[in-house]
Structure 1
Amino acid sequence: MTDSMRSDHGTVVMKRGKRERLTDAAVQMLHEQGVEKTTLADIARAAGIPVGNVYYYFKTKDDLVEAAIGAHAQRLRAMIASLDELPTPQDRLKTLIGGWVGQRDLAARFGCPFGTLSSELDKRADGLDRTAAEVMQGLIDWSEQQFRSMGRTDSRDLAVALIAAYQGISLLTNTFRDPELMTREGDRLERWIDSLGRP
């Protein structure tokens, strides 16, 4: 929805549009600049909203950080719902890996969108670190279900290994500014998924 759309609840639609724009801008700016460097003014500018209006929707920067975590969680749920439409757990896991590889240029510039945020929040221990951890836990839990569906009794260990491999290659891809590192690791992970299904 956009700010100019009207419905029976016209003002609610307008508020929701600006709130969503601010949340999307927060996701982008926190990824590109990090939590500490990003200001409310940066987020307002990226959203195209006067900075004075931000306080109507979010009282503090931490409120916006929490909204950004919520947006990541929502995107993860949507991605999982889409992956769950695929016929086999191998297809789902390999498509997940393909999505990561598809973001390799972004990872080379700024790192993993959620991994870098989680890492930064972990240093704060103000509750937002645990909120972020719950989102990451959701991806691990889903991955575990896929490995379990493949008949693996070590499904939890495999899920942690998969997510750890992605986070690690995201860090290296960003450190060396080399998207091809992500491509090569994606190929390796797909071969690994295929090998796990063999008797």
Structure 2
Amino acid sequence: MTKSDNGGRAAVKPGKRERLVAAASRVLHEQGVEKTTLADIARVADVPVGNVYYYFKTKDQLVEAAIEGYAQGLQAMIASLDQLHSPQERLKALLGGWAEQRELAARYGCPTGTLSSELGKRADGLDLAAATVMQLLIDWAEQQFHSMGRSDSRDLAISLVAAYQGISLLTNVFHDPELMAGQIHRLEDWIDSLA
């Protein structure tokens, strides 16, 4: 435990496993799976590299844990968005969150999209694990469009996620966060036009 600045109360430092998963998520996003080593992750997590093997026997196990972390983060975000009144508000809040991350996308792309793209070239199960995170987002967006009374809700959900993934790629390729800002505004107008 470490002492915090919030009234002298103690704050619990995340455990080694949690720090390793968080570090893996960050480093994998920044460097990609192939370039990332367990030593890179251990350094960012502030965990001795020998301790990594206590929690994860292979790099692939750590990659899988990072994917699970992405899924949990997405589920938490969805739970927060689901508190909003209408499906249009929920979808536009999702877009707002993406817009807030445009600087990060300009540097490294979408965390889930880049990881899914890289792992999609493999056929070892990690490709399917990454795909489930993307599927979770598509399914949620489909529910929102369905709640708007759209019979083409599946197609609209795929269009929304595809548009975001495409602009994330271009934002990264051109290192221009304003590309994403402009496209997010267009997507907001598009959602309004569907109501």
**Retained in 2: the 8 A contact 1:3–1:18?**
no
**Retained in 1: the 8 A contact 2:112–2:133?**
no
Mapped to 1, the partners of 2:102 and 2:133 lie a distance apart of 21
**Retained in 1: the 8 A contact 2:67–2:129?**
yes
Q: Paired residue for 2:44?
A: 46
> Structure 1: any 5+ residue segments left out of the alignment?
5-12
Q: Paired residue for 2:29?
A: 31
Q: How many residues align?
A: 187
Please give the secondary structure, in 2, of the residue aligned with 1:153.
Answer: coil
Mapped to 2, the partners of 1:81 and 1:31 lie a distance apart of 24
Mapped to 2, the partners of 1:138 and 1:30 lie a distance apart of 20
1:3 positional shift? 8.6
Which 4+ stretches in 1 moved above 3 angstroms? Answer: none
Using the size of structure 1 for normalisation, the TM-score is 0.91
Mapped to 1, the partners of 2:189 and 2:44 lie a distance apart of 40
> Structure 2: any 5+ residue segments left out of the alignment?
4-11
Q: Paired residue for 1:10?
A: none
Q: Paired residue for 1:104?
A: 102
1:111-126 alignment to 2 at 5 Å? Answer: 111-126=109-124
The CA RMSD measured in Å over matched residues stands at 1.4
Mapped to 1, the partners of 2:132 and 2:32 lie a distance apart of 20
Q: For the structure 1 residues 3 and 71, does the alpha-carbon distance in structure 2 shift closer, same or farther, using more than 3 Å as the test?
A: farther
Mapped to 2, the partners of 1:53 and 1:144 lie a distance apart of 42
Mapped to 2, the partners of 1:66 and 1:53 lie a distance apart of 18
Match of 1:166 among 164, 167, 177: 164
Q: Paired residue for 1:85?
A: 83
Q: Paired residue for 2:9?
A: none
Q: Deviations over 1:55-95 (max 9, x none)?
A: 00110000000000000000010000000000000000000
Give me the identity figure in percent: 73
